[in-house]
Amino acid sequence: MKIIMLGAPGAGKGTQAKSIAKKYGIPHISTGDIFRANIKNGTELGKKAKAFMDQGMLVPDELTLDLVMDRFAQDDCKSGYVLDGFPRTIPQAEALTAALAQNQETVDYAIDIAVPDEAIVERMSGRRACLTCGATYHVVYNPPKKADVCDICGAALVQRDDDKPETVQKRLTVYHEQTQPLIEYYEKQGILKQVDGTKDMSEVFEEIIGILG
């Protein structure tokens, strides 16, 4: 079962991807993890990716696709995978479709976790993090026992720059411009399934399981 996860930043696709991977015994693949693993292992593709990342540049689509296809070739992907964070644009999606077709393969499901922008902003701007031990909280959904203090280690909690409303809004603008067109792309292929991401995480997961069977 080959699955692509879609959704805006903060929609919860990473969390759901991990749950799907665990239930079906298939790997959860994120491009960030692939980059880190290849760089750590000093592979040729990793060295190429690192050269771009060290200059603060995005890894080119062609190289990212090579890294993704290399990951698909590993033994644990024989029964499928959950791909999270790629493709992000139509050219990436078209390149992935073409690369899979060369191996007589196709994606089975593209699952879009739909959440309105205002709910995303509320979710992400309410996040608080402990920089000392890495624990995360939410001022509404998962507040610490004492305001702005980590339950675990007692350090002060902070709002990461990525979670500030203005930053979240910018990320959403980029998402709507670049990534949302993928919804129509996979809809045309007949593999798009949408779930309501505003529900409780367990309910969203149950809805996804209902689709995958």
By residue count, the chain amounts to 213
| H or E segment and range at residue 81 | strand 81-84
Can 13 be counted among the known catalytic residues? Answer: yes
Check 18, 50, 88, 199 and give the catalytic one: 88
Check 13, 71, 123, 128 and give the catalytic one: 13
Peptide bond just before 87 cis, omega within 30 deg: yes
Can 71 be counted among the known catalytic residues? Answer: no
Can 88 be counted among the known catalytic residues? Answer: yes
Instruction: Count CA within 13 A, CB hemisphere, residue 118.
Output: 0
Q: Long-range pairs for 94-99 at CB < 8 Å and ≥24 separation?
A: 95/61, 95/62, 95/65, 96/65, 96/68, 97/189, 99/65, 99/69
Residue 19 identity (one-letter amino acid): S
Which residue reads 């809805």 in tokens? Answer: 207
Check 50, 171, 193, 199 and give the catalytic one: 171
Check 22, 47, 78, 160 and give the catalytic one: 160
**CB-neighbour burial class of residue 184 (10 A; exposed 0-12, middle 13-18, buried 19+):** exposed
Residue 77 identity (one-letter amino acid): C
Which among 127, 112, 119, 140 is positioned nearest to 204, based on CA atoms? 112
Check 71, 123, 127, 128 and give the catalytic one: 127
Can 36 be counted among the known catalytic residues? Answer: no
User: Which residues participate in catalysis according to the annotation?
Assistant: 13, 88, 127, 160, 171
